[in-house]
Amino acid sequence: MRIYIGFDDTDTIDSDRGTGKLARWFENELPKSCGLWGVVRQQLLLDDAIPYTTHNSSACVILECSNSLLMDDLISRAVRHIEHHFISGSDPGLCIASEDSPPLSELIHFGRACTTRVVTQKEALKAAVGFHLSGHGGSNDGIIGAAAAVGLTAQGWGGRFIEFGGLRDFPETVRVSDLERSGIAVVSIDRDGRFPAPEDIVDTKGWLRPRLWGGRPVLPVVPRTGNLWKTVEERKRKKRQKGGE
């Protein structure tokens, strides 16, 4: 059974870690009956009316667990995790839902809204009826991004993986077959219809971040020369970036 855990607003502009790192570190707190499937970063609306820290992104941890009876335990572990790692001055939020919970359609709809307009805590609470949604400090505005992270990730068509199958351990150039063996689909977006062969090489530019497409990690690539391909995006460092993912 798949369980989604959304975290948001656990850092500040001067902190040495971001919400993405806190989400990835949660793997160390899991019970034995749960395994980390992946962690997805979700990008929300950038607007001057929203008091975001750096990029207004949130993160969703995706777990594979034996049953939903673990929910109370996971909630307790996630709360303790936030309390241990959040940065004073932030506004942490937590959302947890399982795929066999009440329908996720309201959370999915809410997540989409968070990418196009300014939303409120009241809207987040309404969308999360039947699920766990809690604030853990400051204004509690983090409940908005936490709920959006779960909704957007559950729909399966948005965000990028910041953790999946040891993606951070791959070298800068890697064979297509090695990526696909790890569960990452390599997909060409070349307009001429070329597609990568198993022994072709992908230049990740030192930043391997598959996208969440169709409920699975997909790495879009374009051809360079010979059997070499490159990823379509690379890490962008912004002035406001501090803790990272």
Tokens of 221: 């690539």
The candidate with the shortest Cα–Cα distance to 144, out of 42, 244, 3, 72, is 42
In tens digits, the chain (245 residues) has pLDDT values of: 999 999 998 777 877 788 999 999 999 999 999 999 999 999 999 887 877 767 789 999 999 998 767 899 999 999 999 999 988 888 999 999 998 877 899 999 999 999 999 999 999 999 999 999 999 988 999 999 999 999 999 999 999 999 999 999 999 999 999 999 999 999 999 888 889 999 999 999 999 999 999 999 999 999 999 999 999 988 765 544 445 67
Q: Which amino acid is at 122?
A: K
Query: Measured over all CA atoms, what is the biggest interatomic distance in the chain, rounded to whole angstroms?
Result: 54
CB count in 10 Å sphere of residue 25 = 16
Give the pairing of strands 57-65 and 2-8.
antiparallel
For 182, counting Cβ atoms within 10 Å of its Cβ (0-12 exposed, 13-18 middle, 19+ buried), the class is: middle
The candidate with the shortest Cα–Cα distance to 63, out of 33, 31, 42, 37, is 37
The candidate with the shortest Cα–Cα distance to 94, out of 19, 154, 7, 152, is 7
pTM of the model: 0.92
Domains of the chain, each with CATH number or no CATH: 2-161 (3.30.70.2200), 171-231 (no CATH)
